[in-house]
Amino acid sequence: MEQTSISTSHGEKRLHNIVMVIGRLGLAYLFFTQLFWKLPPTFGCPNNFAFPQPAAENYYEANGSGGLCYWLGLETVYADQARSVLVTDMRPAGLPRIGVTITPIAQANAVFLENVVKPNIAFVGWLLWLAEFWVFVSMLLGFLTRLGGIVGLGVSLQLFIGLANIPRPYEWEWSYGQLVLLTLLMFGLAAGRVFGLDAWLRRRLTPAATEGRWFPRLILWLT
């Protein structure tokens, strides 16, 4: 019985490690695929960093925009329209349609985009691109993966608030919701401790951290 328990424990740990690495590398590749349609220094924005503009109810004028400018513009175009997320339509079963309204949050996001991001897109675009590049590197190498998870979570939440369930083009909310959940898991599970540089860092820095040194303790937390 004891031998069976030990074997099961080893098997469970091996499965845990395999799943962790697959999830981490999968997230790394996801962010890698998103780096090239908004490359610096133009971030895929033609027409002198033009943004889409509202044209009519539920419609917009592309205004010659593209790349990062196009999607940031759509976040502001639809911000004032009523929008719900976490939607479940139970009407086919004779039950109500439920969801969570995020219109006030989307409007606050649009104010920030209009007043901070859009006027400074040539600079802020670099920050956004580097943030996604960092998530890719962090997850690929298993390096400071809690920091990578925090950055990825921030990027994912902003996309969720700005784009989930917008009507045209329709953006399925769970395209962004699943990304929020995956980055949250990578943060909470500290995925770099399994076949990543974080495992090596923890071995090197644990003695100094136990002596109360703040920098090694900070690095250990980020791993």
CA terminus-to-terminus distance, the chain: 36
Residue 60 lies in a domain: yes
What are the pLDDT digits (tens) for 69-96? 999 999 999 999 999 999 999 999 999 9
What is the residue range of 183's domain? 2-189
Residue 160 lies in a domain: yes
pTM of the predicted protein model: 0.91
Helix (H) or strand (E) holding 59: strand 59-61
What are the pLDDT digits (tens) for 133-159? 999 999 999 999 999 999 999 999 999
Residue 214 lies in a domain: no
Residue 96 lies in a domain: yes
Q: Structurally, how many domains does the chain consist of?
A: 1
57 confidence band (pLDDT: 50, 70, 90)? confident
The rounded mean pLDDT for the chain is 92
Paired tokens of 192 = 């770099």
Residue 202 lies in a domain: no
Helix (H) or strand (E) holding 98: strand 97-101
CA 1 vs CA 5, 8, 14, 126: distances in Å: 6, 11, 20, 58
Residue 130 lies in a domain: yes
